A and B are shown apart, each in its own frame.
Chain A
Amino acid sequence: MLFGFEWDLSSPLAFALSILPILLIGMWVTIQAAVLGFAVALVLGLVWAVLKAARSRFIAWPASVVTEFIRDTPLLVQLFFLYYVLPEYGIVLPAFMTGALALGIQYSAYTSEVYRAGLEAVAKDQHEAARALNLSAARTFTHIVVPQAVPRIVPAMGNYLVSIMKDVPVLSVVTVLEMLNVAKIVGDRTFDYLVPLSMVGGLYLIMTLVASAGVRLLDGWLPKQGIPLK
């Protein structure tokens, strides 16, 4: 029994059906961790991108070093760091929060690159036209650059949402009960790993297909010329 659901070992099908609610609970945790981590990555990535674009080298350089460091170290290292080191300094977060934060930090290094590339892809022409019209730097950024960068940024971000989902099982090492961890516990207790693990594979396939389709839909729906301003 797990989460109040009994398993039925009479046949593989009955077993599969009986543990489906258990795995769905795990899947819900996976989705939450991915979405929360993604949200952190979106915000933190933007912070890095802005810092890296700073005129002052004393700001831009450390930001580059930090993001490079994050990118070049495994997610597990960041996770252990947060999980074991933070409590030494009196910061105790629930395992789920720690895990989502680690995911967010890891992916912020990637999303910062997406922001940077998206903003830089807005042609120099556009900056020059805005300058020739004497538009302020702030107005140029918010009303000329950003609306044209968003359609380039969104699809790439969507792909990171999909890969963040696939990284959530790493959180099982700090006891987060995401889908794979739940399946493993079911296997440990029933001595049948094949059915729960196959189901995890299938559910992952569904999740990533749905997310990818969503990204593609969004991409097709976004105006290629930039977000129209009325």
Chain B
Amino acid sequence: MSDPIIKFDKVVKRFGDLTVLDALDFEVMRGEKVSIIGPSGSGKSTVLRILMTLEGIDGGLVTVGGEPLWHEPGPDGLRPASEAHLRKMRAQLGMVFQQFNLFPHMTVLRNITEAPVKVLGLSKADAKLRAEELLERVGLADQAQKYPHQLSGGQQQRVGIARALAMRPSILLFDEPTSALDPELVGEVLNVIGQLAEEHDLTMLLVTHEMRFAREISDRVCFFDQGQIREEGTPEELFSDPNEDRTREFLKAVLD
């Protein structure tokens, strides 16, 4: 666990005049389970989206597995990454979205097999086998032929998780995976994520408002505020005995 699998080095991200990340330093170790908490608009999603290559950066360096993500080596040092480089890097990452983002015109099975067949080059039979195993794992073995709109939100999100896992990423990003769900459906999704957290090799980055859950599964919790990590530590440290006033205020507000 000595070298970080994810490293943000003085990363700057702006949207127009708004500086969302202002020289952010952030590291995640291989296999580590990190939860990101913090107020809305503090840049939590932006961090995940930069990693998933959905947003570029305006300064600094992001490395994944020791390699620059948004840059590649050129004749005179680093230059902006080409699409080919991004494609290669993206293969290490998977993402679970707040709104699930399933493909509505594809069956559950097809949602899961599409990328393994088209991107990884798996045969349809192998991809189907892989999908069925994953559906079994997320408790949806009998739903393979359904379309997303025929499923509950909790089931859809579990398909979203299976879809991301089918690409065998070494890093899995969760952006508020239960925030769009009715309260009674949150548990079934957290159960699945909790099981994944048992996997030693999988690196997990979870943005969530489920504080109890974050406390249970995380190795480390980071409190984001205004594009900075205001405070971080083990769940024990951060939740029971925060150092910063901002952290205390935030926790008080969300736990009430």
Contacts and interface: CB of A to CB of B under 8 A. Distances in A.
Interface stretch (B9-17, B111-119, B203-211, B219-227): B111-119
Of the listed residues A126, A144, A148, A225, the one surrounded by the most CB atoms of chain B closer than 10 A to its CB is A225
Interface in A60-79: none
B104 A225 contact: yes
B53 A131 contact: yes
Nearest to B112: A133
B147 A228 contact: yes
A136 B114 CA distance: 12
Q: How large is the interface on B (under 10, 10 to 19, 20 to 34, 35 or more residues)?
A: 20 to 34
B252 interface: no
Interface residues of A, number: 22
B147 A225 contact: yes
Given A132-B164, A135-B118, A147 B105 contact: yes
A129 to B, nearest CB: 4
B164 A229 contact: no
A206 to B, nearest CB: 36
B131 interface: no
B105 A225 contact: yes
A135 B104 CA distance: 16
B95 A135 contact: no
B167 A126 contact: no
A136 B84 CA distance: 10
Interface string B37-80: 00000000000000011100000000000000000000000000
Given A125-B97, A133-B167, A134-B91, A227 B105 contact: yes
Contacts of A12: none
B128 interface: no
A189 interface: no
Interface in B97-146: 97, 99, 101-107, 110, 114-115, 118-119
A129 B97 contact: yes
A129 B103 contact: yes
Nearest to A151: B105
Nearest to A150: B105
A223 interface: yes
A135 B147 contact: no
A229 B163 CA distance: 17
B85 interface: no
Contacts of A223: 105
Of the listed residues B105, B110, B147, B148, the one surrounded by the most CB atoms of chain A closer than 10 A to its CB is B105
Contacts of B93: 132
Contacts of A143: 114
Given A128-B97, A228-B147, A135 B114 contact: yes
Interface of A: 125-126, 128-129, 131-136, 139, 143-144, 147-148, 223, 225-230
12 contacts: A129-B103, A132-B94, A132-B97, A134-B115, A135-B114, A135-B115, A136-B118, A139-B118, A226-B104, A228-B105, A229-B106, A230-B107
